């Protein structure tokens, strides 16, 4: 996978973006784009919440304090009629619904860009919009939604984007320039599937183990047992990706996971946040998707299958009340 560091270019003042999803990352991306002077709107599917956020604005918290920014927030998809790109940052289980909305409302020249967790989001958007209008990618940017419209920037990480066919595209350059202006670290890749799978492998290793153990990222690497379990999940998922024809770069997975855990030590990862709030997780698009890929080639996946089943069981337990 060859990544390109894009050159910083003059921003087109007429360029307009929509961010889909008012979760932690969606709120942070919309706020930072607005702070950089980019014309951006945040699209929510709940009208009442959208109206509240539109009135009160967004607050971005970091180690330096808090910064307020006014971002147009709406539940009306007609806001998409005038945008050049829509940045999709909803949970993976909402992708199909979002893709259908984009297909109805995005102008023909506009593109959809997914930076979501998990596998299959890119393909879902392509089914609705066509392969030429969808870019994929990943982000390691950290964010924690402390309340609706109040997001904490928990640490900068690389964002990688690219066309599925690896071609050069001026529309991709426009998206990258907007993200660069907003202060994100962005590179363009010629192998976006490898980037997506690499992120999915790391998520498959860390996220369910954190959600099961209730440990923050840093603590995951401090215990030999959790580190061994994460490493086994990553190695297994890597083998499945390579067997499936995705050229993920081979890693020293234990060392890689230790480094990521230490670099994001205070973070409560997204799956653990979901479990703590008794919400649906993205396990189906992460470990579940990896197992389904393995099943296509009759490849064993006992570690990822076990993590998938455990998180599904936790989700199903939300409705149960444990008697004392």
Would you say the C-alpha torsion 127, 131, 133, 138 has a positive or negative sign? positive
Query: What burial class does residue 171 get, using C-beta atoms within 10 Å of its C-beta: 0-12 exposed, 13-18 middle, 19+ buried?
Result: middle
Q: DSSP letters of 215-246?
A: --HHHHTTSHHHHHHHHHHHHHHHHHHHHTT-
In the numeric block, which tokens belong to residue 99? 């893709």
Contacts of 322 (CB under 8 A, 6+ apart): none
Distance of CA 124 to the CA centre of its chain: 15
**What is the rounded CA–CA span in Å between residue 64 and residue 151?**
14
- C-beta of residue 159 within 8 angstroms of C-beta of residue 139: yes
**Of 50, 267, 178, nearest to 58 (Cα)?**
50
Instruction: Give SS3 for 29.
Output: helix
In the chain, helix, strand, coil percent, each to 5?
50, 20, 30
**Of 249, 41, 52, 62, nearest to 146 (Cα)?**
62
Only one residue has tokens 């299958």, namely 305
Q: Please tell me which residue in 52, 91, 199, 228 is annotated as part of the active site.
A: 199
Residue 52 catalytic?
no
- Catalytic positions are 199
């Amino acid at each position: 996978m060859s990544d390109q560091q894009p050159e910083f270019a003059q921003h087109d003042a007429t360029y307009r973006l929509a961010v889909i999803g008012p979760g932690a990352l969606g709120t942070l991306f919309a706020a930072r784009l607005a702070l950089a002077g980019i014309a951006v709107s945040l699209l929510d599917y709940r009208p009442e919440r959208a109206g509240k956020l539109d009135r009160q604005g967004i607050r971005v918290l970091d180690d330096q304090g808090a910064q307020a920014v006014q971002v147009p927030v709406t539940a009306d998809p007609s806001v998409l009629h005038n945008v050049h790109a829509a940045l999709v940052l909803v949970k993976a289980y909402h992708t199909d619904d979002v893709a259908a909305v984009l297909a109805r409302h995005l102008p023909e020249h506009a593109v959809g860009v997914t930076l979501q967790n998990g596998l299959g989001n890119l393909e879902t958007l392509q089914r609705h919009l066509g392969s030429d209008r969808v870019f994929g990618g990943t982000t390691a940017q950290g964010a924690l939604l402390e309340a609706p419209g109040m997001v904490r920037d928990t640490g900068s990480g690389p964002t990688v984007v690219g066309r599925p066919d690896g071609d050069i595209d001026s529309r991709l350059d426009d998206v990258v320039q907007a993200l660069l202006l907003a202060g994100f670290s962005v590179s363009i890749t010629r192998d976006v599937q490898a980037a997506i799978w690499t992120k999915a492998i790391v998520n498959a290793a860390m996220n369910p183990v954190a959600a099961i153990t209730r440990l923050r990222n840093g603590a995951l690497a401090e215990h030999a047992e959790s580190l061994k379990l994460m490493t086994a999940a990553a190695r297994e998922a890597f083998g499945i990706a390579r067997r499936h024809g995705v050229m993920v770069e081979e890693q020293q997975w234990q060392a890689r996971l230790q480094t990521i855990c230490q670099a994001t030590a205070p973070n409560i990862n997204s799956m653990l946040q979901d479990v703590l709030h008794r919400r649906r997780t993205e396990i189906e698009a992460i470990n579940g998707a990896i197992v389904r890929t393995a099943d296509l080639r009759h490849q064993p996946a006992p570690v990822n299958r076990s993590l998938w089943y455990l998180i599904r069981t936790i989700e199903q337990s939300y409705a149960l009340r444990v008697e004392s």
